[in-house]
Amino acid sequence: MQGVLSGNRIGVLTSDGLFRVKEGNLFAGWVNERSNVKKAYLSGSRIGALGTDNHCYVKDGGLSAGWVDEFANVSACVLPVD
């Protein structure tokens, strides 16, 4: 399990590979962002995930923005600080 923080976003990666994020106050609801995740990242308006398929997935903007498959065969993703 992993927890990540950035600005007003909180993310958790569960032991079964589900990456969930909430935005706003501490009582906001959780949004299921991606499954099959090994490592999770938050940086400003960007959300990143290292998939179990070793692809780096990134989205920019709101929690419902679409994912972009940035690169394959990676062991980690790096998100720049906004």
Per residue in 2-46, pLDDT (tens digit) is 888 899 999 999 999 999 999 999 999 999 999 999 999 999 999
Full residue range of the structural domain in which residue 50 is found: 2-71
What CATH number is associated with residue 65?
Answer: 2.40.10
pTM: predicted TM-score of the whole model, two decimal places: 0.91
In a domain, 76, yes or no: no
pLDDT per residue as tens digits for the range 41-82: 999 999 999 999 999 999 999 999 999 999 999 999 998 765
Q: How many structural domains comprise the chain?
A: 1
Contact criterion met (CB below 8 Å) for 75 and 39: no
In a domain, 81, yes or no: no
In a domain, 80, yes or no: no
In a domain, 10, yes or no: yes
The two counts, helices (H) then strands (E), for the chain are 0, 8
pLDDT of 79 reads 87
pLDDT of 1 reads 73
In a domain, 56, yes or no: yes
Q: Report in angstroms the alpha-carbon separations of 65 from 2, 49, 72, 73, 75.
A: 22, 14, 21, 24, 24
